[in-house]
Amino acid sequence: MDQVKNYLLPPKAPREYGFFVDGRWHEGRDQFERLSPGHGVPVTRTAKCTPEDLNAAVVSARRAFEDRRWSGLSGAARGAVLLRVAEILRQRRDEIAYFETLENGKPIAQARGEIDHCIACFEVGAGAARLLHGDSYNSLGDGLFGMVLREPIGVVGLITPWNFPFLILCERVPFILASGCTMVVKPSEVTSATTLILAEVLAEAGLPDGVYNVITGSGRTIGQALTEHPDVDMLSFTGSTAVGRSCVHAAADSNFKKLGLELGGKNPIIVFADSDLEDAADGAAFGISFNTGQCCVSSSRLIVERSVAAEFEKLLAEKMARIRVGDPLDEATQVGAITTDQQNTTILDYIAKGKAEGAQLVAGGQAIDLGKGQYIAPTLFTGVSPDMAIARDEIFGPVLCSMSFDTIEQAIELANDTVYGLAASVWTKNIDKALTVTRRVRAGRFWVNTIMAGGPEMPLGGFKQSGWGREAGTYGVEEYTQVKSVHVEIGKRSHWIA
Ligand code: NAD
């Protein structure tokens, strides 16, 4: 990593990666070159895998699962490998953060914080491996004893998006490994480097060959083939709701593989007049600007009590104007680059649509020209009505829409007026309001007087069209198991034939 004072530089030449199958590196026939969205220079080259490469990866994962080289170990032995992974990640933290920033465009300081969270995921996964257990029924009468065993589901396909390439990976991999499963991972084609670095780390930590395989390539070819593969027992997909839908069809048309789906969101942040408005404005600015709003859990719909709406929007607009948008490799940057050209166009199109729909633009609303890369100012629209496209569609960018309410019932109705149900946040000093909203708004993750807080102990996942299943923590491990009921007769059988 080249560095000038407190400021990292992009690499002079892109780093090259093969793909990882059966504990070995392989070269791709073709390569994909990734330009950093913050600088426009080549930073990595990764393989464009073929369907044959995918098949080899599934064969490898299947073999590693069936011979029990991983699932046959004790939870303690699996946990020990996961703890070694955490230790190696600690040593390689800055390097992994650097490549995450280069490929994704997120600020380097944020990327380092994310790697710390990933280390914690492996530590929690290590504990979960040891604690995984089934159940027993001592209530079936003196002649029968019942046990419920948890068994790993088998070969897992894991498809991840580009917004948190390493974090989303690490909110899944330790828990899949804790359960005893093996896997084939397909990262987003624009952010594959850190998923490949994890292969090196897992191998060094002593993970047996064939347990973690990575194939790289486009979603339409390799991703789709993984969803359709008849020898994959479960697929964990994180990405858009549209592709999530195609995973459901692919599972139905192939082998009914179990699905875990973490999809889109249009998450409400509800601010009551009795909240600490300074805190709530800071939370709202963070909730929409963090990771340039390219978070599935970004709070993109502000629902604010009408009596304080004008005051709150003014406060928020002032705060948003002070956010430091800049080069992701600058330590001081709070908001970096938009990750893909396509996403940049989508966000700017939605800003234009918001203006055309008649919403008032009170902060941001334009691209920022830094002479290189692609940047968008954190944007606030007020006077938004619930039927506008900017209020309904997941924009996946730093664009916040403000709507107002008079009663708690209206706030709940507005919050639930979406096909999504991923996350929500409520700000009030009144415990009755906080708990009523928390109970009645349909979302898988809830924050009260805070936003995007949490650790890998807590489950992640969505209601409604935001997905199926839960990841992380003990709930996350259980997702990758299936239960088997075992009935044991005690003593002499009472005979059927007299
Ligand atoms: P995407 O759905 O386009 O791609 C996600 C992954 O799926 C990538 O690896 C991609 O290569 C692959 N893919 C694309 N087409 C595929 C197909 N037909 N079959 C199989 N795989 C395919 O999403 P994205 O643009 O990378 O990410 C943005 C979206 O992800 C947003 O909608 C966001 O809300 C969602 N997301 C959700 C969560 C969550 O936890 N719920 C987290 C992050 C992102």
Q: What is the pLDDT of residues 255-290, one digit of tens each?
A: 999 999 999 999 999 999 999 999 999 999 999 999
The radius of gyration of the chain from alpha carbons, rounded to an integer in Å, stands at: 24
- How many A from CA of 367 to the centre of ligand 1? 24
| Secondary structure of the chain in HEC code, one letter for each residue | CCEECCEECCCCCCEECCEEECCEEECCCEEEEEECCCCCCEEEEEEECCHHHHHHHHHHHHHHHHCCCCCCCCHHHHHHHHHHHHHHHHHCHHHHHHHHHHHHCCCHHHHHHHHHHHHHHHHHHHHHHHHCCCEEECCCCCCEEEEEEEEECCEEEEECCCCCHHHHHHCCHHHHHHHCCEEEEECCCCCCHHHHHHHHHHHHCCCCCCCEEECCCCHHHHHHHHHHCCCCCEEEEECCHHHHHHHHHHHHHCCCCEEEEECCCCEEEEECCCCCHHHHHHHHHHHHHHHHHCCCCCEEEEEEEHHHHHHHHHHHHHHHHCCCECCCCECCCCECCCCCHHHHHHHHHHHHHHHHHCCEEEECCCEECCCCCCEECCEEEECCCCCCHHHHCCCCCCEEEEEEECCHHHHHHHHHCCCEECEEEEECCCHHHHHHHHHHCCCCEEEECCCCCCCCCCCECCEECCEECCECHHHHHHHCEEEEEEEEECCCCCCCCC
What percentage of residues in the chain have a pLDDT greater than 90? 97
Asked if residue 496 is part of any domain, the answer here is: no
273 shares its domain with 257 = no
Q: What is the pLDDT of residue 476?
A: 96
CATH number of the domain to which 222 belongs: 3.40.605.10
CATH number of the domain to which 358 belongs: 3.40.309.10
What are the pLDDT digits (tens) for 289-313? 999 999 999 999 999 999 999 999 9
Sole residue written with tokens 């995984």: 132
Q: What is the pLDDT of residue 338?
A: 96
Q: Quote the tokens at residue 423.
A: 């996350």
| Single-letter residue type at 87 | E
What percentage of residues in the chain have a pLDDT greater than 70? 99
Residue 109 has pLDDT above 60, yes or no: yes
- Kindly report the number of other CB atoms within 10 A of residue 401's CB atom: 27
254 shares its domain with 354 = no
Tell me the mean pLDDT in the region 403-431.
98
**296 given a catalytic annotation:** yes
The dihedrals phi and psi of 373, each to the nearest 5 degrees, come to 75, -175
In whole angstroms, what is the distance from residue 449 CA to residue 282 CA? Answer: 11
Residue 207 has pLDDT above 90, yes or no: yes
Asked if residue 31 is part of any domain, the answer here is: yes
303 shares its domain with 244 = no
Residue 6 has pLDDT above 70, yes or no: no
**457 given a catalytic annotation:** no
| Single-letter residue type at 201 | V
Q: What is the pLDDT of residue 8?
A: 85
292 shares its domain with 387 = yes
Asked if residue 20 is part of any domain, the answer here is: yes
Q: What is the pLDDT of residue 5?
A: 52
Residue 58 has pLDDT above 90, yes or no: yes
- The Cα-based distances of 206 to 18, 78, 126, 211 in angstroms read 20, 10, 14, 11
Sole residue written with tokens 């007020």: 382
Structural contact between residues 159 and 191, judged by C-beta atoms closer than 8 angstroms: no
- Kindly report the number of other CB atoms within 10 A of residue 1's CB atom: 13
Tell me the mean pLDDT in the region 488-497.
94
Asked if residue 30 is part of any domain, the answer here is: yes
Residue in 296, 305, 401, 478 annotated catalytic: 296
Q: Up-side HSE of residue 145: CA atoms within 13 Å toward CB? A: 7
Asked if residue 498 is part of any domain, the answer here is: no
What are the pLDDT digits (tens) for 421-434? 999 999 999 999 99
Asked if residue 459 is part of any domain, the answer here is: no
Question: For all residues of the chain together, what is the average pLDDT?
Answer: 96
Q: Quote the tokens at residue 235.
A: 């697929």
Distance from the Cα of residue 232 to its chain's centroid: 21
Tell me the mean pLDDT in the region 439-443.
98
In whole angstroms, what is the distance from residue 494 CA to residue 498 CA? Answer: 10
258 shares its domain with 324 = no
97 shares its domain with 73 = yes
- Counting atoms of ligand 1 from 1, which one is nearest the CA of 241? 32
81 shares its domain with 47 = yes
Tell me the mean pLDDT in the region 442-449.
97
Q: Quote the tokens at residue 306.
A: 């009408």
- The C-alpha angle 206, 20, 150, rounded to 5 degrees, equals 55
61 shares its domain with 194 = yes
Tell me the mean pLDDT in the region 240-246.
95
| Pocket (CB within 6 angstroms of ligand 1) | 159-163, 168, 186-189, 219-220, 223-224, 227, 238-240, 243, 246, 262-265, 296, 394, 396, 422, 462, 467
441 shares its domain with 475 = no
- Counting atoms of ligand 1 from 1, which one is nearest the CA of 262? 41
Residue 5: which residues within 8 A CB-CB, separation 6 or more?
none
Asked if residue 444 is part of any domain, the answer here is: yes
73 shares its domain with 188 = yes
In whole angstroms, what is the distance from residue 453 CA to residue 334 CA? Answer: 17
Asked if residue 453 is part of any domain, the answer here is: no
- How many A from CA of 119 to the centre of ligand 1? 23
Residue 39 has pLDDT above 90, yes or no: yes
In whole angstroms, what is the distance from residue 301 CA to residue 93 CA? Answer: 34
- How many A from CA of 227 to the centre of ligand 1? 13
41 shares its domain with 188 = yes
The dihedrals phi and psi of 471, each to the nearest 5 degrees, come to -115, 160
Domain count, the chain: 2
In whole angstroms, what is the distance from residue 325 CA to residue 308 CA? Answer: 28
Q: What is the pLDDT of residue 277?
A: 98
Q: What is the pLDDT of residue 1?
A: 61
Q: Quote the tokens at residue 458.
A: 């807590």
Closest residue by Cα to atom 21, ligand 1, is 223
Residue 417: which residues within 8 A CB-CB, separation 6 or more?
386
The whole domain housing 190 covers 3-263+466-484
- How many A from CA of 263 to the centre of ligand 1? 7
In whole angstroms, what is the distance from residue 294 CA to residue 289 CA? Answer: 8
Q: What is the pLDDT of residue 477?
A: 97
Q: What is the pLDDT of residue 7?
A: 65
10 shares its domain with 136 = yes
Residue 2 has pLDDT above 70, yes or no: no
Q: What is the pLDDT of residue 158?
A: 98
